Structure 1
Amino acid sequence: MRLLFTILLLSFPVIEIWGIFKLSALYGWWFFLYMILVTYLGWRLIKEEKQLVFAKLMGAMTQGGNPIKAMIGSARNLFAGILFIIPGVITDSLAVILLLIPIKNNSSQNVHPSEDDVIEGEYRRDDELLK
C-alpha cells in the first residue's frame, strides 16, 4: 500500500505536466488564459480567506458554535486556493471538489437561551384603543 501511494505521489506531477502540454497543444492561448484566470482566482481566494478567518472564528464563538468548524472551513478554502494556484487541470478539479463539499454547521443546535436573553415588557392591543 505504501509503495502504491509513493508511486502515485511521484507520478502525479508527471501526469499534470503531460496534461498541460496536451491541453495547451489542443486549445492554445485559451488554455493559457484559463491557467492565468484560475491562478488569479486562487490568489484572491487565499487573500480574502486570510482577511475573514478571524471574523469567522469570532462569529462562531459569539453564536455559541464550534470554532473548530470555522477553522476547518477556512483551512479548506486556503488549501483550495493553493490547489488553484498550482498549474494543472487535476489540481483545479480537486480544488473545485473540495470547495463543493459542505461543512455542516450545527451552531444553531448548541445555542440555549439563558436568563439574560429574556426581554420583559407589557402587552397592549391597538385595536382595543380604537373602539
Structure 2
Amino acid sequence: MRAILLIILAYPFVEIASLVYMADKLGGGFVLFWVLCSALIGIAMLRNQRIGTLLTLGALFNQKGNVSVYSLLWPVRYLLAGVLFLIPGVISDVLAIILLLPLSGPGPKVRMPDGAAPSDGAIEGEYTRVDETVDRDRHLHK
C-alpha cells in the first residue's frame, strides 16, 4: 500500500521533470505545442465519447459468435486515454497511446443472450415498387 501511495505522490514530479528535460533538449516552444496539442486531443476524445461508446457497443453486439470482455472495455480505455491526454506530460501521453493500441486480451468470451441473435447485415422485409407516371408537359426542358 505504501508503494502505491509513493507512486501516486511521485507521479506529478516525474511528469514535471520529463517536461523540463524535453524543454531543455528540444526547446520550450515545442514542449508548449506538445502540451496544447495533447490537451486538444484529450478534449476531442472526451467530447466524442458518447457517440463512440454507442457505436462500439452496437458493433460488438452485431458480431457473430462470442464477444470478449476485453473488447467490451474499449469505451473505458478510450475514456481513460482522453483523460490522460488532458494531463500535461510525456508519461501520461505515452500511457494514453498504449491504451489506444488495438491489443486483444486473453479475456473470457461472453455468450450473446438467446433473444439477441447476431445479424449478417441483411434486413428482412417486404416491399412494393410504385412507379409514378410522369406528365411530359410538367418538364422544364423539352
Shorter-normalised TM range = 0.5 to 0.7
- The equivalent of 1:20 in structure 2 is 19
Change (3 A) 1:54 1:70: farther
Q: 2:84–2:95: 8 Å Cα contact kept in structure 1?
A: yes
**How far is the alpha carbon of 1:25 from its aligned partner?**
4.0
**How far is the alpha carbon of 1:24 from its aligned partner?**
2.7
**How far is the alpha carbon of 1:15 from its aligned partner?**
1.2
Instruction: Please give the alpha-carbon distance, in whole angstroms, between the structure 2 residues aligned to 1:62 and 1:4.
Output: 43
Tell me the alpha carbon deviations over residues 51-87 of structure 1, each in whole angstroms, 9 at most, x when there is no partner: 1211221222233553854541111111111101100
The one-letter code matched in structure 2 to 1:8 is I
Aligned pair count? 109
Q: With structure 1 as the length reference, what TM-score do the two structures score?
A: 0.68
- The equivalent of 2:134 in structure 1 is none
Dislocated runs of 4+, deviation >4 Å = 67-70
- The equivalent of 1:59 in structure 2 is 59
The one-letter code matched in structure 1 to 2:9 is L
Tell me the alpha carbon deviations over residues 99-127 of structure 1, each in whole angstroms, 9 at most, x when there is no partner: 125136xxxxx79xx8xx8xxxxxxxxxx
SS in structure 2 of the partner of residue 87 of structure 1:
coil
Runs of 5+ in structure 1 lacking a partner?
A: 105-109, 118-131
The one-letter code matched in structure 2 to 1:10 is L
- The equivalent of 1:83 in structure 2 is 84
- The equivalent of 2:38 in structure 1 is 38
RMSD: 2.9
Runs of 5+ in structure 2 lacking a partner?
A: 106-110, 121-142
Q: 1:80–1:95: 8 Å Cα contact kept in structure 2?
A: yes
Could you tell which deviates more after superposition, 52-61 or 31-40? Answer: 52-61
Q: 1:69–1:103: 8 Å Cα contact kept in structure 2?
A: yes
